[in-house]
């Protein structure tokens, strides 16, 4: 078998020596480096395999034009998207098996864009000092590995050389494994589920039931980036059904919490048309960091210290109505079968009789907005159960199983008519 190929993407005009060190380590550990230059400030200081001019041409421009614009941010965006296209083509021909980049924030942004050209399962490693900060823009809901290099990627020294060598060894090993075994080992139907700490009993019970029936269940932690990953993987076509119990990220989107998954949460399953069961898990709360970081305008709200790093804020009726309308609007657009389950007994471990977030008026506003908002194509199921009651998990699984069976039968008949 030929050696796996690792794309090394970066600015070889300013980081050539450092990236060459990385490439040497990749070679030493049995992979073949493909050096892709995206430097716009000058000529590469080492020999590369794909010149920056070629990447600029793929982006519909020229290196001279990018330099004349003197907008490095725009250049990074254009080149990053062009590299993504190149990597996609090479991967489809089995000519790239991994991606690695090293540098500062510009190189990290370039890496994030380039990584979009490679599907889940192809290793993607970023070596950058941004790995110690807010990494969501660079992870971008993908299966990215981050390595914090301690020192900046500027010259070779005892620390940077060691880090780059380890990075080369790591990406070479990961690429070798992918080249030998393939990206994803799939032997059964895949169900994607969403979970938060306060909905764990429900989702764990549902997962066990689905697995007992032969499904593989992928559980996504609904922490913003978890919801983004949930949506992104559904869009790839790798998911057969969705058990979206924990839609809590909608609450953060409405109330200004820190764990929003963005405005497109709860849309991929409907867009792709797979069967989905949606519920209101943890829609009683928005998330913030340590108590001291909660905005002053919200300090008089009902707050709960989940731990020293997470503060939860109880959602109030006006926000609940907005969340309910948002949820309804999204499920109404679904192209496939969808059921919405309302656990009238409570939506989280904190939302129960005597619980810290018990708030009947807010729950009533949420449920009423959903009742009024969902269209005739959406199945609405109400139950007096709490979201974490074992019987609710059974109801959710039974509903999803029925939707999947009906969906399969419908597609079979549609196919026979064709």
Mean pLDDT of 234-244: 95
Q: Which of 31-45, 67-81, 82-96, 224-238 has the lowest mean pLDDT?
A: 67-81
pLDDT of residue 416: 43
Quote the CA–CA distance of 126 and 163 in Å, as a whole number.
12
Phi and psi torsions of 245, nearest 5°: -65, -40
Instruction: Tell me the per-residue pLDDT of 224-238, one tens digit each, with 9 for 90 and over.
Output: 999 999 999 999 898
Q: Which helix (H) or strand (E) holds 364?
A: helix 360-373
Q: Which of 69-73, 91-95, 238-242, 413-417 has the lowest mean pLDDT?
A: 413-417
Contacts for 380 with CB less than 8 Å, ≥ 6 apart: 339, 340, 342, 370, 371, 374
Instruction: Tell me the per-residue pLDDT of 310-333, one tens digit each, with 9 for 90 and over.
Output: 999 999 999 999 999 999 999 999
Contacts for 261 with CB less than 8 Å, ≥ 6 apart: 222, 224, 225, 226, 227, 228, 230, 231, 249, 252, 253
Considering the domain 5-181, what is its CATH architecture? 3-Layer(aba) Sandwich (3.40)
Instruction: Tell me the per-residue pLDDT of 199-212, one tens digit each, with 9 for 90 and over.
Output: 999 999 999 999 99
Q: Is the pTM of this model over 0.85?
A: no
Quickly tell me which residue has 């496939």 as its tokens: 336
Q: What is the mean pLDDT of the chain?
A: 94
Q: Which helix (H) or strand (E) holds 69?
A: helix 63-69
Quote the CA–CA distance of 340 and 104 in Å, as a whole number.
45
Query: Where are the domains positioned within the chain?
Result: 5-181, 190-417
pLDDT of residue 415: 61
pLDDT of residue 136: 85
Mean pLDDT of 149-159: 94
Rg, Å, the chain Cα set: 24
Strands 144-147 and 124-128: parallel
pLDDT over threshold 50, residue 410: yes
Mean pLDDT of 50-55: 96
Q: How many residues does the chain have?
A: 418
**Angle, helices 200-212/390-417, rounded to nearest 10 degrees:** 50
**Cβ contact 77:113 at 8 Å:** yes
Quote the CA–CA distance of 192 and 71 in Å, as a whole number.
41
Mean pLDDT of 61-67: 90
Quote the CA–CA distance of 172 and 97 in Å, as a whole number.
9
CA distances from 121 to 230, 300, 318 (A): 15, 45, 42
Quote the CA–CA distance of 381 and 371 in Å, as a whole number.
10
Return the CATH number of 190-417, one of 3.40.50.12030, 3.20.20.140, 3.40.50.970, 3.40.50.300. Answer: 3.40.50.12030
Instruction: Tell me the per-residue pLDDT of 100-137, one tens digit each, with 9 for 90 and over.
Output: 999 999 999 999 999 999 998 899 999 999 998 788 88
Same fold across 5-181 and 190-417? yes
């Amino acid at each position: 078998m030929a050696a796996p190929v690792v794309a090394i993407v970066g600015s070889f005009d300013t980081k050539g020596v450092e990236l060459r060190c990385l490439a040497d380590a990749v070679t030493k550990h049995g992979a073949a480096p493909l050096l892709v230059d995206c430097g716009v400030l000058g000529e590469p200081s080492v020999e590369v395999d794909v010149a920056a001019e070629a990447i600029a041409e793929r982006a519909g421009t020229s290196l001279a034009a990018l330099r004349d614009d003197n907008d490095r941010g725009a250049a990074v965006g254009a080149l990053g998207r062009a590299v993504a296209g190149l990597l996609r083509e090479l991967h489809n021909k089995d000519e790239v098996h991994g991606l690695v980049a090293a540098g500062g924030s510009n190189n990290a942004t370039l890496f994030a864009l380039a990584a979009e050209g490679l599907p889940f399962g192809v290793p993607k490693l970023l070596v950058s000092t941004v790995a110690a900060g807010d990494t969501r823009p660079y992870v971008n809901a993908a299966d990215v590995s981050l390595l914090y290099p301690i020192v900046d990627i500027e010259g070779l020294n005892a620390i940077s050389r060691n880090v780059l060598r380890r990075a080369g060894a790591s990406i070479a090993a990961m690429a070798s494994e992918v080249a030998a075994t393939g990206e994803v080992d799939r032997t059964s139907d895949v169900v994607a589920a969403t979970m938060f700490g306060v909905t764990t009993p429900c989702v764990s019970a549902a997962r066990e039931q689905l697995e007992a029936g032969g499904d593989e269940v992928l559980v996504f932690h609904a922490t913003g980036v978890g919801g983004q990953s949930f949506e992104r993987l559904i869009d790839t076509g790798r998911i057969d059904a969705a058990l979206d119990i924990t839609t809590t990220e909608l609450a953060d989107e409405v109330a200004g919490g820190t764990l929003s998954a963005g405005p497109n949460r709860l849309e991929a399953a409907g867009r792709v048309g797979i069967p989905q069961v949606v519920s209101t898990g943890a829609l009683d709360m928005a998330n913030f960091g340590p108590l001291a970081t909660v905005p002053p305008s919200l300090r008089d709200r009902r707050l709960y210290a989940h731990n020293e790093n997470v503060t939860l804020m109880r959602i109030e009726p006006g926000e609940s109505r907005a969340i309910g309308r948002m949820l309804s609007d999204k499920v109404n657009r679904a192209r496939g079968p969808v059921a919405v389950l309302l656990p009238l007994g409570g939506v989280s471990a904190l939302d129960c009789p005597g619980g810290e977030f018990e708030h009947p008026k807010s729950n009533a506003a949420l449920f009423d907005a959903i009742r009024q908002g969902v269209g005739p194509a959406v199945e609405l199921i109400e139950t007096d159960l709490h979201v974490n009651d074992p019987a609710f998990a059974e109801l959710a699984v039974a509903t999803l199983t029925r939707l999947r069976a009906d969906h399969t039968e419908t597609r079979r008949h549609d196919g026979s008519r064709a």
